[in-house]
Amino acid sequence: MPTRRTKRGASRTPLTGDVDVLVCGASFAGLALARELRGSGARVLVVDRYDIGERQTSACGIPTEWLRAMDLMGAHRQAFGRLVVHTPSRTARFELPWTFSTFDYPELCRLLWEQAEADFETATVNGRTGNTVHTDRGDLSAPVVVDALGWRRVLGRGYQPPDAPLSRGLEVHPWGAGDEMEIWIDRRYVPAGYGWSFPAQDEVRIGVGSFDPRFHVKDTTVLLAEDLERDAVRYQGNWIPHKLRDASEDGVFFVGDSAGHCLPLTAEGIRTAFYFGIACGRELRSVVEGRQSVAEALTRYGDFSASHEWKFRWMLRAQRLVPRVPPRALAGALRAMEARRFVAWSFGHYLAIAPPEFAGSGPRPRAAAPQPARAAA
Ligand SMILES: Cc1cc2nc3c(=O)[nH]c(=O)nc-3n(C[C@H](O)[C@H](O)[C@H](O)COP(=O)(O)OP(=O)(O)OC[C@H]3O[C@@H](n4cnc5c(N)ncnc54)[C@H](O)[C@@H]3O)c2cc1C
């Protein structure tokens, strides 16, 4: 039984006030952004309905180099140099040009938080009026407001499933070990989407993701776990946006799933949440250091995100195409794609959408300096 660390009832005291930067959401996007503001002198407040790292939001698979680039290897669990893809008629093995890793979610969040200099409060965000954010504990105001709240995009125009460009994913986390990172493209599990098994040292994360939000993945997640002779225990699931949205809107910055930053074909959204969180954090850093206005940062960050639109559009096209390919033709295509040069080329391009070098290419976080914040309007 998971223990709830979030403050409840009487211990949920009123919360009001002004800060320089208000980051709503303390998962991958929000924490990566807060980390980027370290040493800027800004008063940064991060809020989330749960404590930091309390609720895992994914299977926690990421290119290993991203963990290394952000000094997060302490959360590393298992690395894979190969991706095994099962179709009903054939299994393909891709020898990857870079490794993929699973990590521990609470530990990763803890390490990210350790690298940030900010305050944290548990509060549920209900909406906003201008730059005042309404929470269940009171109103918070800031010249810079960030929505890193995930697919709901609470501070903007939200989506309502199932009539929205959303995928859905569900997984179970049985205890046990495994050697391979595997995926299944098989209509037995999902008509449009894929199943996965990601070992993470002492547990295996087994799930099914559907690109069609109307397809319920519970039964087939259990089926996949049964086929793998694992227990269907410790569930975790969510909606996953698969369409890029405006990253700045009506004076608010949107980062990660709230901006549709998850890659449509693979539903990989952690490194992109890091990537765009860092990009946004760098823009905000120059705001709080008085080098640009909030309006300029909104434009620059919005344009940066939008410059990736064509990559997301192509991945969305591929997402829609793959389920239409008959299984035998798909097996043939996978055979052709197993060629080492093709794997190196395609996976190299895929990584380049949000490359790990980006984490180190901006201004490095400085040591904390006790200077007053200068948030520009
Ligand atoms: C089953 C499943 C498996 C996945 N596996 C992978 C994977 O292996 N690798 C990968 O790269 N991607 C994976 N994804 C996608 C990935 O989880 C998301 O893209 C990623 O979590 C986005 O990060 P984020 O910080 O934008 O949002 P989230 O991680 O969703 O974080 C949003 C935060 O906001 C908080 N919040 C939400 N609403 C409120 C509110 N009203 N008030 C206060 N706080 C609130 C939440 O508590 C949470 O902490 C998976 C998704 C699912 C559903």
| Per-residue pLDDT at 342 exceeds 50 | yes
- 55 touches ligand 1 (CB under 6 Å): yes
At residue 334 the predicted structure's pLDDT band, cuts being 50, 70 and 90, is confident
pLDDT mean over 173-194: 96
Nearest to 53 by CA among 3, 1, 2, 110: 110
Residue 27 CA to ligand 1 centre (angstroms): 7
> Could you tell which of 173, 270, 275 is best to mutate to test the pocket of ligand 1, judged by most ligand atoms within 8 Å of the CB?
270
Q: Which of 140-149, 179-188, 287-296, 334-343 has the lowest mean pLDDT?
A: 334-343
At residue 192 the predicted structure's pLDDT band, cuts being 50, 70 and 90, is very high
Between the alpha carbon of residue 248 and those of residues 157, 213, 224, 254, 280, the distances in Å are 12, 26, 39, 6, 10
Q: What is the pLDDT of residue 339?
A: 85
Nearest to 211 by CA among 258, 246, 160, 263: 263
Residue 333 CA to ligand 1 centre (angstroms): 32
**Do the beta carbons of residue 256 and residue 278 sit within 8 Å?**
no
152 CA closest ligand 1 atom index: 38
**What percent of the chain is predicted at pLDDT more than 70?**
93
Which residues in 84-104 are b (16+ Cβ under 10 Å) and which e?
Answer: bbbbeeeebebebeeebbbbb
Q: Of residues 17 and 154, which shows the higher confidence score?
A: 154
Between the alpha carbon of residue 331 and those of residues 95, 180, 266, 327, the distances in Å are 17, 20, 18, 6
Nearest to 334 by CA among 325, 301, 204, 103: 325
126 CA closest ligand 1 atom index: 41
Angstrom distance (rounded) from CA 162 to CA 108 = 31
Angstrom distance (rounded) from CA 229 to CA 250 = 50
pLDDT mean over 298-315: 96
Q: What is the pLDDT of residue 92?
A: 93
At residue 1 the predicted structure's pLDDT band, cuts being 50, 70 and 90, is very low
Query: What is the tens place of the pLDDT at every residue in 267-290?
Result: 999 999 999 999 999 999 999 999
Query: What is the tens place of the pLDDT at every residue in 46-75?
Result: 999 999 999 998 999 999 999 999 999 999
- 57 touches ligand 1 (CB under 6 Å): yes
Angstrom distance (rounded) from CA 229 to CA 130 = 52
- 59 touches ligand 1 (CB under 6 Å): yes
Residue 150 CA to ligand 1 centre (angstroms): 6
At residue 9 the predicted structure's pLDDT band, cuts being 50, 70 and 90, is low
239 CA closest ligand 1 atom index: 53
| Per-residue pLDDT at 122 exceeds 80 | yes
- 343 touches ligand 1 (CB under 6 Å): no
241 CA closest ligand 1 atom index: 19
Nearest to 88 by CA among 195, 209, 184: 184
Q: What is the pLDDT of residue 4?
A: 57
pLDDT mean over 157-184: 93
pLDDT mean over 159-163: 83
| Per-residue pLDDT at 372 exceeds 60 | no
Angstrom distance (rounded) from CA 61 to CA 43 = 32
Q: What is the pLDDT of residue 362?
A: 54
Q: What is the pLDDT of residue 82?
A: 96
| Per-residue pLDDT at 84 exceeds 70 | yes
Query: What is the tens place of the pLDDT at every residue in 193-238?
Result: 999 999 999 999 999 999 999 999 999 999 999 999 999 999 999 9
Q: What is the pLDDT of residue 247?
A: 98
Q: What is the pLDDT of residue 141?
A: 96
- 207 touches ligand 1 (CB under 6 Å): yes
Angstrom distance (rounded) from CA 186 to CA 188 = 5
Q: What is the pLDDT of residue 25?
A: 98
- 237 touches ligand 1 (CB under 6 Å): yes
Q: What is the pLDDT of residue 325?
A: 85
Average pLDDT, the chain: 91
Nearest to 211 by CA among 162, 257, 275: 162
- 268 touches ligand 1 (CB under 6 Å): yes
Q: Whose CA is nearest to atom 36 of ligand 1?
A: 149
- 195 touches ligand 1 (CB under 6 Å): no
- 147 touches ligand 1 (CB under 6 Å): no
Q: Whose CA is nearest to atom 30 of ligand 1?
A: 150
Q: What is the pLDDT of residue 340?
A: 86
| Per-residue pLDDT at 297 exceeds 60 | yes
Q: What strands lie across the sheet with 248-249, from one edge to the other?
A: 119-122, 44-48, 21-24, 144-147, 252-254, 248-249
> Could you tell which of 57, 77, 152 is best to mutate to test the pocket of ligand 1, judged by most ligand atoms within 8 Å of the CB?
57
Angstrom distance (rounded) from CA 261 to CA 312 = 9
Q: What is the pLDDT of residue 366?
A: 42
Q: Whose CA is nearest to atom 38 of ligand 1?
A: 149
Query: What is the tens place of the pLDDT at every residue in 11-43?
Result: 678 888 899 999 999 999 999 999 999 999 999
Q: Is 247 helix (H, G, I), strand (E, B) or coil?
A: coil
| Per-residue pLDDT at 158 exceeds 50 | yes
